Structure 1
Amino acid sequence: MLKAVLFDLDGTLLDRDQSVELFMNRQYERLYEFLSHIPKEQYTSRFIELDNHGYVWKDKVYQQLIREFHIPSVTWEALLQDYVEDFKHHCAGFPHIHEMLQELKNNGIALGMITNGYGQFQMDNIKALDIEKYFDVILVSEWEGIKKPDPRIFMNALEKLNVEPSESVFIGDHPENDVKAAQNVGMKGIWKRDNQWNNIEADAIIDNYSELPLVLKNLDFNVHSLTK
């Protein structure tokens, strides 16, 4: 019987691509006096390329941007600080996340989140999405001292939720850090489709959270109440 559903954050609940684009456009406008010699589209697209879907921290990204675009009047530290302080104001969630999380809660499913990243930065983004209230457990790698795909962070979350791996599902966009890592501890792994990867081995694949109730039902858990 399904007792818990756990989620990744970036690329899973947070539409990071849209959020980054919104933030970068605003940063360019806000710091136009320092960046005006660079076309906005070029500045934004190069940031996205260097960022590598969030897997490169922004200190390295901004250092590279300053070198490439010859930005003399602002430091990479200042650009990084602007990112840390302002990104949360541009967070965009994927469609239907609130309805989906509420439906799971209404059906007595425990909810958890495991995200890699810096603790306060990730919590600011979670609060910006207004989804913290749905979760029984939220683990951020910096605060835990371990990160996905380490099996210990999954087991820590399950222990806090008081559920067994066989009673749980993990949903994430990364084939190894999310799906495979969850499967390795005995959970079912659902892949939130991300076009940067292909041929992913998962227990199920979703494109939209409106699909989730039926997907959970088809995973052989006794959750018929989740679908109308």
Structure 2
Amino acid sequence: MIRAVIFDLDGTLLNRDVSLKKFVDDQYERCKQAFRHIHKNTYIERFLELDARGYVWKDRVYQQLVAEFLIDRLTWKELLDDYIHQFPFHCTPFDNVENTLKRLSEDNLSLGMITNGFEVFQMNNLISLGIDPFFQSILVSEREGIKKPNPEIFHRSAESLQVSIDQCLFVGDHPKNDVTAAKAVGMTTVWKRDSYWNEVDADYIIEDLGCLPAIVKSINEKEGKKYDF
């Protein structure tokens, strides 16, 4: 019986690829004087390459950009500060995020989140999406002192939602940090398909978050049966 649905944030609820491209485009336009000697597309493409889909923190990204492009009108720390404060204004959700969370809540399911990252930054992004009120538990790795795929953070999430591990459905996009880690502790897993990764060993595979209410219903009505939505 599924009583709680726990989500990853980046790449699952937050369309990070779209959000980041919007931010970098905007940063270039706002800082044109400092970037005047760099072609816009060159700056954007190199930023995205160095970012490595969010797995390289931006202090290293900006240090590298400043060094490579000989940027002298802004320091890497000023650019990083701009990223921290301006990125939330560009946060873009995937389709059907709010409607899905609302439907799950209406079905009396508890909702949780586990996200790796810095607490203030991640919370600002969540607030920007306008979906923070749906969650009864939000665990951010910086605050917890551990991060996915550490099994302890999954146990903490279930405990905070007052459900057992096997009553949790975990939804994420990363094969190792989300799917494999959640399955290892005994949660039912949903992989939100990401073209960057090959097929993964998840209990359910989805393209659209709107499938989740039906998945929960199918599990609770027919224990053990798997579907590919």
Question: TM-score per shorter chain, which class?
Answer: over 0.9
Deviations 1:177-209 (A, max 9, x none): 000100011001111111111021111111111
* Residues 28-58 of structure 1: per-residue CA shift (max 9 Å, x gap): 0000000021111111111111101100000
Corresponding residue for 2:205?
205
Q: CA deviation at 1:87?
A: 0.4
The 8 Å contact of residues 172 and 192 in structure 1, kept in 2 or not, is answered as: yes
Aligned length: 223
Q: How does 1:1-228 map to 2 (within 5 A)?
A: 1-218=1-218, 220-222=219-221
Instruction: Determine helix, strand or coil for the equivalent of 2:139.
Output: strand
In structure 2, what residue type is equivalent to 1:156?
R
Name the aligned partner's letter for residue 160 of structure 1. Answer: S
Runs of 4+ in structure 1 over 6 Å off? none
1:172/1:190 contact within 8 Å kept: yes
State the Cα deviation string for residues 3-52 of structure 1 (Å, max 9, x = none): 00000000000000000000001000000000021111111111111101
Residue 214 of structure 1 and its aligned partner are, at CA, apart by: 2.5
State the 1:217 CA deviation: 3.3
What amino acid sits opposite 1:31 in the alignment?
C
Q: CA RMSD in A?
A: 1.3
Task: Report % sequence identity.
Answer: 50
Give the TM-score of the pair, scaled to structure 2: 0.95
Counterpart Cα distance in 1 of 2:199 and 2:90: 32
Offset, 1:161: 0.5
For residues 179 and 139 of structure 1, what CA distance do their matches in structure 2 show?
17
Q: Any unmatched runs of 5+ in structure 2?
A: 223-229
CA contact (8 A) 1:2 1:222 kept: no
Letter in 2 for 1:58: K
**For the Cα contact (< 8 Å) 1:4–1:111, is it kept in 2?**
yes
CA distance in 2, matches of 1:160, 1:139: 9
CA distance in 1, matches of 2:215, 2:132: 24
Unpaired segments ≥5 residues, structure 1: 224-228
